[in-house]
């Protein structure tokens, strides 16, 4: 039987009735009006997870991490967040051994195909940011097809950052503005933050309110460098394959404890620049 303060509330997803008591207790502490609209996650620790368990192949950690991706996505969808962005494959990851990259691409392809029923069931719309065109043909085909299949879904937007680098995105945005100026479609004097935002991969989405990094590491690793200017940062000590709903709820609760001042004093109004 639920303890006092843990009874279902009107805003809870119906499935919360089946959640463990500890997770229901965390859910009871959350204020629905103060949930972040956009959560971004740096999924770190897959290789260490594999090594700690005696696996010689790091890909075993990435395979285990799919369960964490599924649970985080499902929970964000159930809580009716607007967007979840996952750092799936960075520009720097291409430097890894060829065998590992090939295994990661095969795993990505398997994920994109295998998770289609889950995405549809939870009304999730898939998007990709970065340079997904650099993916192998099979992975790119699976990505494009899953994006097409989920395009009409109206719930959570799941952004997969693929062949992504924050600096690369900023350079591409600057190049886009330069091309508009050269074509006579934009006056350089009218370039402001809103104009820059419109050139980013995340154009049209709210900026991340919460950035979560797993494995206890304290760095942003070239991820969403422009967009996380005012994001609250939560560092989870667990490795990504061990990240579950309870850890996401803890991150959301930590977020709600923060006083967001956006550089001012006593002002909780976020800066606006066109989104």
CATH number of the domain residue 143 falls in: 3.40.1180.10
Per the annotation, the verdict on 123 as an active-site residue is no
72 domain residue, yes or no: yes
Domain that holds residue 70: 35-164+209-256
153 domain residue, yes or no: yes
138 domain residue, yes or no: yes
Q: What is the DSSP string of 194-242?
A: HHHHTTSTTTTSPPPSEEEE-TT----TTSSTTTTTT-EEEE-SS-GGG
pLDDT for residue 230: 96
- Please, what is the average pLDDT of the chain? 94
Asked which of 4-13, 161-170, 240-249 is least confident by mean pLDDT, the reply is: 4-13
- Checking if the pLDDT of 275 tops 60, the result is no
Number of domains the chain contains: 1
pLDDT for residue 271: 67
Out of 44, 197, 201, 209, pick the active-site residue: 44
pLDDT for residue 218: 97
pLDDT in tens, 152-172: 999 999 999 999 999 999 999
127 domain residue, yes or no: yes
- Checking if the pLDDT of 59 tops 80, the result is yes
186 domain residue, yes or no: no
Out of 93, 123, 153, 222, pick the active-site residue: 93
183 domain residue, yes or no: no
Per the annotation, the verdict on 144 as an active-site residue is no
220 domain residue, yes or no: yes
- Checking if the pLDDT of 2 tops 80, the result is no
pLDDT for residue 8: 81
Q: ∠ at Cα 125 (74, 120), nearest 5°?
A: 60
200 domain residue, yes or no: no
Measured CA to CA, the distance from residue 248 to residue 140 in angstroms comes to: 29
Q: Band the pLDDT of 248: cuts 50, 70, 90.
A: very high
pLDDT in tens, 190-242: 999 999 999 999 999 999 999 999 999 999 999 999 999 999 999 999 999 99
């Amino acid at each position: 039987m639920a303890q006092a303060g843990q009874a279902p509330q009107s805003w809870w997803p119906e499935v919360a009735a089946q959640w463990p008591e500890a997770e229901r207790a965390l859910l009871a502490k959350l204020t629905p009006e103060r949930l972040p609209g956009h959560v971004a996650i740096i999924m770190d620790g897959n290789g260490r997870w594999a090594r700690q368990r005696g696996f010689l192949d790091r890909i075993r950690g990435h395979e285990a991490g799919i369960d964490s991706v599924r649970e985080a996505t499902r929970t964000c969808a159930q809580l009716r967040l607007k967007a979840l962005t996952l750092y799936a494959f960075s520009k720097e990851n291409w430097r890894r051994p060829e065998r590992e990259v090939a295994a990661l691409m095969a795993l990505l392809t398997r994920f994109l195909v295998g998770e289609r029923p889950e995405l549809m069931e939870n009304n999730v719309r898939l998007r990709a940011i970065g340079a997904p065109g650099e993916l192998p043909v099979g992975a790119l085909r699976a990505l494009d097809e899953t994006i097409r299949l989920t395009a009409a879904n109206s719930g959570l937007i799941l952004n997969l950052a693929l062949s992504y680098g924050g600096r690369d995105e900023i350079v591409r945005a600057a190049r886009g503005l330069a091309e508009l100026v050269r074509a006579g479609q934009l006056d350089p004097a009218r370039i402001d933050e809103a104009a820059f935002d419109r050139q980013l991969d995340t154009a049209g989405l709210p900026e991340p309110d919460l950035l979560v990094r797993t494995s206890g590491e304290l760095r942003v690793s070239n991820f969403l460098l422009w967009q996380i200017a005012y994001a609250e940062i939560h560092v989870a000590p667990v490795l990504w394959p061990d990240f579950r709903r309870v850890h996401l709820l803890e991150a959301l609760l930590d977020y709600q404890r923060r006083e967001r001042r956006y550089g001012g004093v006593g002002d909780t109004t976020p800066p606006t620049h066109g989104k």
